[in-house]
């Protein structure tokens, strides 16, 4: 079909305005899908730089291939009906993502977890992104060369046409970037965001085919599929396999997927459906049985226990424990996600008199002049550590905000040892800032957590050996740690726990003695890579029996085992 004949038969294209509108909404849909991809994958694989790299890389591949094939198809058969049909298919595909995407992710993850032994998260995220997002974005990649074919009347104005199309695409992309991040995802969530932008995209081919009075059945089917997805997508959340009766809340903030579970003995917050619990409130007073109990050694190790700062407040678990055992302690919290702080008041009984700032922990420290006896660093972005809160510069900043004899406690979420491990890198980095003689670690039984304690010994600008009265002996003497805890809290329960915890305290090596010590800095802190490696090791250990079962008994045996 010649271009002149096509234009004659499709009057909606004669003014060129509809072509520019198409380019605008196509660009918007691409960026909205990309941002939606990060939020769809984050509850399963985290939102680390590695996952973002996978998303951006696969989408750029799809768009590049779409541009190549779109140009070929436009030259070979310049039929706008085919172009708008591709847009129709892309819109329907994106509309189905909130309905079927989560099931595909779990299916792909389940297949890979028993078949691959390394780089599970990277491979699972990559395959999921390829299966879910590459097809529709490949189709949208064909739009620009196709539109250029129909919008250009002669070579004399070809550059101007390309410029206008590019401008429309860019402006649409800008809105497709800002609207999901700041408006739709925080307000209505990821699933509805996909539906909003796929619906806007769907309007283009529907209007085009309605004006041309062709493909009415295809348009009707597309609208029905869109409506069904809109009706059924919100009926199950990201963790669709969970017992819905225990889920008190499931939603999203600008930073996180958020899930609150109300269990018989505790209430827990998770920001990732596959890995870990970020906060917990026990329904009966006492110790939690989690890493917070080990972290309660910090006030006993410190010279004084009058004030505490918590970076990564979460729902206030550590703050509640401090208030329970150290009721006179002045506690301050910093939490970057304001929605988590709101949930803390609604579901977790966070003490209302604790000052909680909604801010990045490092930026807050940089602006503060206060000092503390205890500083808890428990900042995680999903399952990875923010790089800016893992560097030598950051821990130096924390040290400056400690009182003399004060203690920093760091929650290291993954027990990962050996050369090149994330815990070795963090320990070496902290020991290079604090004297390694005053740094101890303690693994938390039955978990993947390790707590690190570092004591400030800088008195009056000079580093000196601490006297017995300053509490150095409590780092190695269980009896002294138990006695000090009881003297400060009058709690036999906590004092007894400290006796056991003191037995788990382990000295760290001086990084200056190590040939290959890894010191993380603001310039070089590959925590995402190190963290993914640690998670891979945990997954490999847990999935090992299932892989062996698959090898011996096949899929049937594996299915019987997981039923």
Q: Write out the catalytic residue numbers.
A: 378
Coil vs helix vs strand at 468 = helix
Give Cα separations from 147 to 81, 335, 346, 395, 400 (angstroms): 12, 47, 51, 54, 59
Kindly report the length of the chain: 563
Coil vs helix vs strand at 261 = strand
Distance separating alpha carbons of residues 248 and 199, to the nearest angstrom = 30
Q: Which of 329, 509, 320, 332 is nearest to 428 (CA)?
A: 509
* Structure tokens, 341: 């702080």
Q: Which of 220, 194, 241 is nearest to 99 (CA)?
A: 194
CB 390, CB 323: distance < 8 Å: no
Give Cα separations from 30 to 61, 128, 134, 483 (angstroms): 13, 17, 11, 62
Distance separating alpha carbons of residues 224 and 336, to the nearest angstrom = 41
Cβ within 8 Å of residue 292, ≥6 positions away: 280, 317, 318, 321
Cβ within 8 Å of residue 111, ≥6 positions away: none
Distance separating alpha carbons of residues 351 and 349, to the nearest angstrom = 6
DSSP per-residue letters across 138-188: HHHHTHHHHHHHHH---GGGHHHHHHHHHHHHHHHHHHHHHHIIIIIHHHH
Neighbours of 556 (CB within 10 A): 9
Computed over its alpha carbons, how large is the radius of gyration of the chain? 28
Distance separating alpha carbons of residues 25 and 91, to the nearest angstrom = 11
CB 119, CB 62: distance < 8 Å: no
CB 531, CB 383: distance < 8 Å: yes
CB 150, CB 7: distance < 8 Å: yes
């Amino acid at each position: 079909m010649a271009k002149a004949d096509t234009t004659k038969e499709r009057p909606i294209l004669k003014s060129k305005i509809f072509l520019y509108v198409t380019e605008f909404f196509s660009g918007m849909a691409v960026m909205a899908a990309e941002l939606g991809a990060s939020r769809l994958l984050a509850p399963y694989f985290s939102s680390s730089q590695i996952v973002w790299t996978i998303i951006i890389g696969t989408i750029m591949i799809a768009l590049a291939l779409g541009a190549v094939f779109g140009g070929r198809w436009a030259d070979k058969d310049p039929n706008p009906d085919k172009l708008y049909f591709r847009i129709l298919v892309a819109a329907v595909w994106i509309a189905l993502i909130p309905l079927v995407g989560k099931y595909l992710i779990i299916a792909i993850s389940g297949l890979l977890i028993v078949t691959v032994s390394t780089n599970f998260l990277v491979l699972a995220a990559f395959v999921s992104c390829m299966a879910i997002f590459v097809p529709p974005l490949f189709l949208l990649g064909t739009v620009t060369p196709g539109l250029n074919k129909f919008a250009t009347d002669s070579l004399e104005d070809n550059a101007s046409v390309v410029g206008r199309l590019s401008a429309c695409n860019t402006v649409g992309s800008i809105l497709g970037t800002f609207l999901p991040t700041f408006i739709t995802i925080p307000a209505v969530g990821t699933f509805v965001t996909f539906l909003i932008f796929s619906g806007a995209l769907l309007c283009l081919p529907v209007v085009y085919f309605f004006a041309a009075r062709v493909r009415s059945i295809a348009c009707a089917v597309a609208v029905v599929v869109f409506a069904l997805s809109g009706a059924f997508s919100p009926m199950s959340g990201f963790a669709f396999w969970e017992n819905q009766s225990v889920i008190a809340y499931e939603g999203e903030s600008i930073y996180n997927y958020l899930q609150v579970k109300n269990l018989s003995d505790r209430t827990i917050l998770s920001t990732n459906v596959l890995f870990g619990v970020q906060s917990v409130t026990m329904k009966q007073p006492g110790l939690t049985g989690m890493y917070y109990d080990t972290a309660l050694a910090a006030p006993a190790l410190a010279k004084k226990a009058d004030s505490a700062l918590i970076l990564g407040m979460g729902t206030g678990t550590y703050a509640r424990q401090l208030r329970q055992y150290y009721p006179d302690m002045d506690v301050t919290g910093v939490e970057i996600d304001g929605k988590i702080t709101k949930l803390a008041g609604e579901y977790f009984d966070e003490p209302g008199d604790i000052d909680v700032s909604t801010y990045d922990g490092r930026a807050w420290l940089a602006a503060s002049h206060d000092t503390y006896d205890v500083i808890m660093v428990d900042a995680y972005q999903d399952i990875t550590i923010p790089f800016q809160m893992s560097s030598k510069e950051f821990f130096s900043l924390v040290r400056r905000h400690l009182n003399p004899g004060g203690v920093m406690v760091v929650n290291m979420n993954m027990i990962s040892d050996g050369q090149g491990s994330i815990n070795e890198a963090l320990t070496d980095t902290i020991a290079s800032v604090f004297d390694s003689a005053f740094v101890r670690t303690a693994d938390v039984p039955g978990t993947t957590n390790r707590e690190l304690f570092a004591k400030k010994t800088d008195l009056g600008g000079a580093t000196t050996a601490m006297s017995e009265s300053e509490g150095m002996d409590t780092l190695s003497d269980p009896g002294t740690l138990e006695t000090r805890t009881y003297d400060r809290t009058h709690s036999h329960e906590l004092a007894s726990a400290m006796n056991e915890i003191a037995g788990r305290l382990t000295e760290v090596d001086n990084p200056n003695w190590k040939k290959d010590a890894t010191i993380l800095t603001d310039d070089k802190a590959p925590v995402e890579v190190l963290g993914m490696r640690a998670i891979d090791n945990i997954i490999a250990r847990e999935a090992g029996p299932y892989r062996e079962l698959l090898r011996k008994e096949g899929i049937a045996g594996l299915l019987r085992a997981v039923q």
